[in-house]
Chain A
């Protein structure tokens, strides 16, 4: 029987302490520049206590709450992605000697203390599974693999979805079902803690857990129900591949492109987007050079450039690539949609384009699979 118990609010500070003692470096949500993003945690006081959020298409604002809750907000612009698939990373370094010989050295990071991420939401756990499939199956990516190895996940059930969230329709939330080491469900006076792995059991065993009372169970069920009911948006089905590819000439692509700025905000906040480009940065001395990769997007011109042609020169083609990949081809590539319903691309789109609305219009008539 896996460990399951109640942790009083005042005892949560022991969680990062236990993790530090177990050798982990802790990261978690922090308020920075007006948004909740993941950063290094030195203590539980770094978490966003009494912070709430307001999200709508093209709108994000934090506010104060009357209570002490730590996780009473929906996901901010970045979750775990940038910690594993880093925005910029050296792939190799090369050196040329006086005879013109070349020497190569891997850029993949030295073994560091493993990370423990506190406060990962269900949508981000689902996104992590997709990034794992992309970066670890087939040809393992050395940098991603090193950072992913030993990652300890403390998940948190979403109790306060934003207006832009629709993880219930994609089947990815708001509660955390699997894929974590520990899961927390926040109540007024503390947390229901649930271990999901052996590493999680070991950490949970060191926390002062109490039995979970009947009232606490009921409160959790109510919050979970309310979090589902609060979600107003939905995709028109779990598998839209055929409907999208049958509608490549739909007039809506043109209409949405008239609003779309091709700014790539959606792909950079999306927790499953994996595109990146390479860049060579030679040192001024002419003897060494670095080969880097950095996040890129199918909304840029360079993404589809081959000599003499830009395959997606126009915005309708770029928006169509994003949606047909995210909600379509992903099924062929990784066996499910590439959207986990986090709503980030809606909140962070400067003109408030909502992919659930676009997909609904383009796939009208298409049902679930």
Chain B
């Protein structure tokens, strides 16, 4: 029996400094067999362990769409992630994972894909965009909508510019408060929905970001005729074990680490946005 509580050593192959204090680490498990066997689905996460400091859940991504190795894009916010900000190529980490349920990318094939994100960048959504662009012929239109509180909070401006050039792809940005010169929309993310052209009946919507934003977006989409069953969202809760044991990630009856982090909107609609859950 495998021990779900045993990290595997990984080496940092490359470090990339992204916008602001955000950084990415491209990693490989040091055991060659494990490295070759490591596979993840977009939307899954790893428990990333820094020796002597602690362990945190971080989405698994690829640094570049074509990379063979996995990567993590990390925003330093507290004790563990700030200590991780010191890491350099050649340093070692412990990795448990991948865990959880990822995005319904196969289900989305054949129709339009709408990606809605809020706040300060959203690693799980980036993997969706990479996947659609890498398999362009399998999907219809790609609409990416990002909302931020203040126009200054927009990071990854270059990435959005690049995506804008991609075939059949639309990027729409909204800022609650905008500095003069802002070319996006001013207002909440839902103000973008009227401009977004996609097939309301057959599109798949994937969201991540602050929960109030996701609740407002999901309700508005349903009002606009999108079936609740075509909406998916990624959730965050405190996670200690990622094995469905520690109880911290419970969202009503769900364990976010195991039943999520990507949920089908109808599964969670009842408690989503209810204070205290």
Using a CB–CB distance below 8 Å, which chain A residues touch chain B? 91-92, 94, 96, 100-104, 106-108, 134-135, 138-142, 145, 245, 248, 274-278, 280, 282, 286, 289, 291, 293, 296, 298, 302-308, 311-312, 314, 316-317, 320-321, 324-325, 328-329, 331-333
Asked, given contacts A248-B274, A308-B77, A329-B250, whether A276 binds B6 with beta carbons under 8 Å apart, the answer is no
B236: chain A residues at CB < 8 Å are 306
- Residue contact A106 to B52, C-beta cutoff 8 Å: no
Known: A96-B51, A274-B247, A275-B246. A140 touches B241 (CB 8 A): no
Name 19 A/B residue pairs within 8 A (Cβ), A-sorted: A94-B7, A94-B52, A96-B52, A100-B92, A102-B94, A104-B94, A106-B5, A274-B247, A275-B247, A276-B241, A278-B54, A278-B246, A280-B53, A282-B53, A296-B246, A302-B238, A304-B237, A308-B77, A312-B276
Nearest-neighbour CB distance to chain B for A332, whole angstroms, equals 4
Does B248 make an interface contact (CB < 8 A)? yes
Residues of chain A contacted by B241 (CB below 8 angstroms): 276, 278, 293
* CB pair B244 A304 closer than 8 Å: no
**B94–A94 touching, CB < 8 Å:** yes
| CB atoms of A104 and B7 under 8 A apart | yes
Task: Write out the residue numbers on chain B whose beta carbons fall within 8 Å of the beta carbon of A329.
Answer: 250, 252-253
Residues of A within 8 A of B77 (CB): 307-308
Does more than half of chain B's interface fall in helix, strand or loop, or is it mixed?
Answer: loop
The answer to whether A304 and B54 touch (CB under 8 A), given A104-B6, A141-B243, is no
The reply to whether A333 and B253 form a contact with Cβ atoms under 8 Å apart is yes
Could you say which of B51, B91, B237, B240 contacts A289, with CB atoms under 8 Å apart?
B51
Cβ A320 vs Cβ B238 within 8 A: no
* A139 to B259 CA separation, bound complex (whole angstroms): 13
Asked whether, in the complex, the Cβ of A298 is within 8 Å of the Cβ of B51, the reply is no
A276 and B55 contacting across the interface, CB-CB below 8 Å:
no
In the complex, chain B residues whose CB is within 8 Å of the CB of A96 = 51-52, 92
Q: Give a binary string over B72-95; 1 marks a CB under 8 Å from any A CB, 0 the rest.
A: 000001100000000000111110
Q: Across the interface, which residues of A come within 8 angstroms of B6, CB to CB?
A: 92, 104, 106
Take A142-B5, A291-B55, A332-B253 as given contacts and tell me if A303 and B238 are in contact as well, using a CB distance cutoff of 8 Å.
Answer: yes
With contacts A100-B91, A293-B246, A317-B276 taken as known, whether A277 is within 8 angstroms of B240 at the C-beta atoms is: yes
Q: Are B94 and A139 in contact (CB under 8 A)?
A: no
Q: Smallest CB-CB separation from A267: which chain B residue?
A: B247
CB-CB nearest in chain B for A139: B243
The answer to whether A280 touches B54, judged by C-beta atoms less than 8 angstroms apart, is: yes
> Is A325's CB under 8 angstroms from B274's CB?
no
Interface membership of B161, Cβ < 8 A: no
Closest B residue to A290 by beta carbon equals B52
Closest chain A residue, CB of each to CB of B274: A248
* B8 adjacent to chain A (CB < 8 Å): yes
Q: Cβ of B138 < 8 Å from any Cβ of A?
A: no
Shortest CB-to-CB span from A85 to chain B, Å, is: 9
The answer to whether B92 touches A139, judged by C-beta atoms less than 8 angstroms apart, is no
Q: Are A140 and B247 in contact (CB under 8 A)?
A: no
Interface string of B231-273 (1 = CB under 8 A from A): 0000011101101111110101100001000000000001000
| Residues in B whose Cβ lies below 8 Å from that of A145 | 1
- Docked-complex contact B248 and A277, CB < 8 angstroms: yes
Q: What 5 pairs across the A-B complex have the smallest Cβ distances?
A: A317-B276, A332-B253, A275-B247, A282-B52, A329-B253
Given contacts A102-B7, A104-B94, 4 further A-B contacts (CB under 8 A): A280-B54, A289-B52, A303-B248, A307-B77
The smallest C-beta distance from B143 to any residue of chain A, in angstroms, reads 28
A286 to B53 alpha-carbon distance, docked (Å): 11
**B6 nearest CB across to chain A (Å):** 5
B residues 99-151 with Cβ under 8 Å of A?
Answer: none
Q: Among B90, B246, B252, B258, point to the contact of A276 (Cβ < 8 A).
A: B246
In angstroms, Cα B211 to Cα A308, docked, is: 13
How far is the CB of A277 from the nearest CB of chain B, in Å?
5
Shortest A111–chain B CB gap in Å is 14
In the complex, A260→B3 CA distance in Å?
Answer: 39
Q: How far is the CA of A325 from the CA of B246 in the complex (A)?
A: 14
What A residues does B276 contact at CB under 8 A? 311-312, 314, 316-317, 320-321
B247, B252, B277: which has the most chain A beta carbons within 10 Å?
A: B247
Partner of B277, one of A286, A311, A314: A311
Query: In the complex, what distance in Å separates the CA atom of A298 from the CA atom of B168?
Result: 47
Q: Does B275 contact A (CB under 8 A)?
A: yes
A281 CB to nearest B CB, Å: 9
Residues 6-55 of B at the A interface (beta carbon under 8 Å) = 6-9, 30, 49, 51-55
Q: How far is the CA of A169 from the CA of B155 in the complex (A)?
A: 57
Determine the residue in chain A with the shortest Cβ distance to B77.
A307
